Amino acid sequence: MRVYPYITQRLHISNKILYLCLKRQTMDGLKMKDGREINERPDGVTGIAMAAKLRSEFKSSKTVRNIADGIELAEQRKAANEAMMKSLKNFMKL
């Protein structure tokens, strides 16, 4: 009986099944833990789904930019109005 360091359980099976077990160990994104196969592969995303996600992200970022621009513009107007009111009060005192 051979003991392989990358297999967690001792094998009492034929070479064909041993080959299949070793082949499963080397799959990308899959690993064996306590005799169970753990899937660590990233989720598959099609091109259409990726394009839709990018489009929605672009639309939401555009909305956020518009809101930020509106807030900045409102602050500038408020500062301009305060400056104008201050200058009008000074003008009226004269």
Q: What is the pLDDT of residues 14-67, one digit of tens each?
A: 555 555 555 555 456 677 788 888 887 777 778 888 888 889 889 889 999 999
Reduce the DSSP state of residue 82 to 3 states and report it: helix
49 and 37 in a single domain? The answer is no
Written as one letter, the residue type at 7 is: I
34 and 48 in a single domain? The answer is no
Is residue 82 over pLDDT 90? yes
56 and 93 in a single domain? The answer is yes
Contacts for 6 with CB less than 8 Å, ≥ 6 apart: 25
Please give the tally of structural domains in the chain: 2
20 and 4 in a single domain? The answer is yes
23 and 58 in a single domain? The answer is no
Give the residue numbers spanning the domain of 64. Answer: 44-94
54 and 93 in a single domain? The answer is yes
Please give the DSSP secondary-structure letter assigned to residue 40: -
Q: Please, which pLDDT band fits residue 81 given cuts at 50, 70 and 90?
A: very high
The confidence score (pLDDT) of residue 70 equals 95
pTM greater than the 0.75 cutoff: no
34 and 4 in a single domain? The answer is yes
Is residue 6 over pLDDT 60? no
